[in-house]
Amino acid sequence: MAEFPAIDAAIVGLYVVVIFIVGFLASRNIRDTDDFFLAGRGLGFAVIGFSLFASNISGTTLIGLSGQAYAAGISVANYEWMAGLIFLVMAFITVPIFYRNRLSTIPEYFEKRFDSRIRRYISAMTIFLSIFVDTAGSIYAGALILQVFVPGLPFWPTCLGLALFAGLYTVAGGLRAVVYTDVIQAVVLLGGATALTLIIFADTGWSWQAATGALPEGHLSLIRPLDDPHLPWLGTLIGVPILGFYYWSTNQYIVQRVLAARSLDHARWGLTLAGLLKLTPMFIMVLPGAMAISILPGIERPDAVFPTLVTELLPVGLRGLVLAALIAAIMSTIDSTLNAASTLVFYDFLGERRREKMGMAGALRFGRLLTLGFMVVAALWAPMIRNFPGIFAYLQEIFSYAVPPVVAIFVIGLFWRGATPRAALVTLIFGHILGLCALIATQAGWLTLHFTITAGITTGLCALVCLAVSLAAPEKAAPDRAGVIWHRGLVAPDGPHAWYADYRVQVIGVALLTLAIVAAFW
């Protein structure tokens, strides 16, 4: 593509203006830290659902899903439909506990369940992953996309420019600006990706056989053999749920939207809506990437598949719309992770006395400066991701070595009163040492297990350590933790509703639809 057409530039420019206006309007309602970090705890279910979807379906996901599907088939979609099921589990188990404890951060739950050491440990790890994995990955993906559309753009300045754009309106409007722009971005994203999918089908005469007939054997199968190098069935069974449970249930930048719900019912309805939306990537991101192998064979780097499809297949004007959708996806993750990281520092590392001493104006200024600082760090790290084989591999592998001990202590602590703070700390240290050893062994070629299988095995070992230490050294005088342990009474809806507004009915409907799709592409 020799030049960037004026029509495409105008569409992207209009999108940028709209996002800035929304962010500015949101900033006018910032009165205190609850407004800045948690949108005044007044979000409705539609905003929560679309924001959850948009924040996750980032440029990294768009590029990663399409690229992985091109190289290895549609099994990569297992991460997406599994996330939808995890949303449904959250509606029953974790969200009622989080919401009724009026949490400001997810690490705050770990303090209530264990102690302050665990809170700060989890918070520090989450901040690291948010900046160096989620934010940096999205900035990298955005720069890669823009270079395809506008050849000749220098990589590092492009990374910095993307970070600056997302950082500015996040600094101004906080979480309220993030979620309101997320709704716009989700709509644009769904529209742009759907348009590309329809054009690909139109290019094959609207024939499923023509679109898929030339694909390699097993390319359209979700469940792959045990020796599959990309995602074996055992990894789908024991590893993908672990990665998903951490990402969706304990990751601040995701769960922050649920914490900001206006009621428990709205939190649950938002989750079921997000679970429904998570079924769409299979059809508008994964399948187009898989079918691209017969339309555009020979693409060497999988990360270039989606941008190449856009530049090669879409007409002028619609190309600008999809570029706007890509920028929307990128911005949605960058703004979310920046706001979440500053939230964690503010609530988890600044004591209540210090926050009070700052005053409201000082606290807001501190939060905004933190956001800007994290933005710069992520922009500086993003170019380093070029040294990895692909953006999706970078994201998933880093998580697979980092999150197993967190999931282990979270699940055990959620259901078993006997789990002790000492056991939780020992488990975290043991799990991260084990994860580091596994990472080194994998890079050196000594360990050949798929990272999802490694994640499942590591989680099991961490759970055994937590149980063993808790039983060997039980707490002598355990405090009352009734409010942070799950029980069946938490399943009930928050109030009386018509049958279709009962979140349990919605959960069953989304779960059945998900299982039907999995069965169809087994």
Of 434, 142, 422, the C-alpha closest to 306 is 142
Instruction: Please give the biggest Cα pair distance in the chain.
Output: 72
Q: In 3-state terms, the chain is what percent helix, strand and coil (to 5)?
A: 80, 0, 20
Task: Give the contacts of 205 (CB within 8 A, at least 6 positions apart).
Answer: none
CB 102 within 8 A of CB 320: no
**Secondary structure class of 142 (helix, strand, coil):** helix
347 lies in the same domain as 226:
yes
Domain co-membership, 432 together with 328: no
Cα–Cα dist 361/162, whole Å: 28
Write down the pLDDT at residue 251.
79
Q: Could you give the residue ranges of the DSSP H alpha helices within 250-351?
A: 252-259, 264-277, 281, 287-295, 305-313, 318-344
Which amino acid appears at position 188 of this protein? V
Q: Is the domain of 338 the same as that of 450?
A: no
Residue with tokens 């991260």: 432
Residue 351 burial (10 A CB sphere; 0-12, 13-18, 19+): exposed
Are 420 and 395 members of one domain? no
Q: How far apart are the first and last CA of the chain?
A: 38
The count of domains in the chain is 2
DSSP codes, 364-405: HHHHHHHHHHHHHHHHHHGGGGGGSS-HHHHHHHHHHHHSHH
Q: 384 with 438, same domain?
A: no
Contact in structure between 99 and 271 (CB atoms under 8 Å): no
* Full-model pTM: 0.81
Alpha carbon distance 407, 411 (integer Å): 6
Q: Are residues 394 and 410 in the same domain?
A: no
Per-residue confidence (pLDDT) for residue 1, from 0 to 100: 43
Compute φ and ψ for 280, nearest 5 degrees: -70, -35
Quickly tell me which residue has 């994290």 as its tokens. 374
274 and 331 share one domain: yes
Q: Does residue 172 form part of some domain?
A: yes
Strand, helix or coil for residue 218 = coil
Distance CA 345, CA 334 (A): 17
CA distance 348 to 360: 17
- Is residue 492 in some structural domain? no
Q: Are residues 429 and 333 in the same domain?
A: no
Q: Report pLDDT for 2.
A: 44
Other beta carbons less than 10 A from residue 105's beta carbon: 25
Using an 8 Å Cβ cutoff, are 430 and 110 in contact? no
Do the domain assignments include residue 273? yes
Could you tell me if 468 and 348 lie in one domain?
no
Q: Is the dihedral of CA 287, 290, 291, 296 positive or negative?
A: positive
What does residue 301 show for φ and ψ, rounded to 5 degrees? -105, 115
- Cβ contacts of residue 19 below 8 Å, gap of 6+? 169, 181, 184, 185, 331
Q: How far apart are CA 439 and CA 427, in angstroms?
A: 18
Please report whether residue 330 resides in a domain: yes
- Judgement on whether residues 150 and 248 belong to the same structural domain of the protein: yes
Q: Give, as one character, the DSSP assignment of residue 133.
A: I
* pLDDT tens-digit profile, the chain (522 residues): 445 677 877 887 887 777 767 766 665 655 545 555 455 566 778 888 887 777 666 656 777 788 888 888 888 889 888 888 888 888 888 888 988 888 878 888 999 999 889 999 998 888 888 888 877 877 887 777 777 667 777 877 877 777 776 666 555 545 556 666 667 777 777 777 788 888 878 877 777 777 777 777 778 899 999 888 888 999 999 999 998 888 888 877 778 777 778 888 888 998 899 889 888 888 888 888 888 887 777 777 777 788 788 777 777 777 777 777 677 666 666 766 766 777 777 777 776 676 667 665 666 667 667 777 777 788 787 777 776 656 666 777 788 889 999 999 999 999 999 999 999 999 999 999 999 998 888 878 888 888 889 999 999 999 999 999 999 988 876 677 778 899 888 888 877 777 778 888 988 999 999 999 999 998
User: Is 514 among the domain residues?
Assistant: yes
Are 165 and 43 in the same domain? yes
Residue 1 maps to a domain: no
CA distance 403 to 455: 8
What pLDDT, on a 0 to 100 scale, did the predictor assign at position 428?
A: 96
Distance (Å) of CA 516 to CA 215, 223, 513: 23, 14, 5
Q: Evaluate whether residue 393 is within a structural domain.
A: yes
Q: Does residue 300 belong to any structural domain of this protein?
A: yes
**Is 62 in contact with 310 (CB distance < 8 Å)?**
no
The single-letter DSSP state of residue 499 is G
CATH number (domain holding residue 210): 1.20.1730.10
CA–CA dist 196, 194 (Å, integer): 5
**One domain for residues 325 and 431:** no
Using alpha carbons, select from 35, 111, 137 the residue that is nearest to residue 388. Answer: 137
Domain holding 460, by residue range, is 403-479
Matching residue, tokens 């059809």:
283
The answer for residues whose C-beta is within 8 angstroms of residue 311's C-beta and 6 or more apart is 1, 148, 149, 319
Angle subtended at Cα 85 by Cα 278 and Cα 120, rounded to the nearest 5 degrees = 95
Side-chain-facing half-sphere of 436: CA atoms under 13 Å = 5
- Dihedral in degrees, nearest 10, Cα atoms 119, 375, 139, 30: 80
Confidence (pLDDT) at 358: 65
**What's the pLDDT at 188?**
74
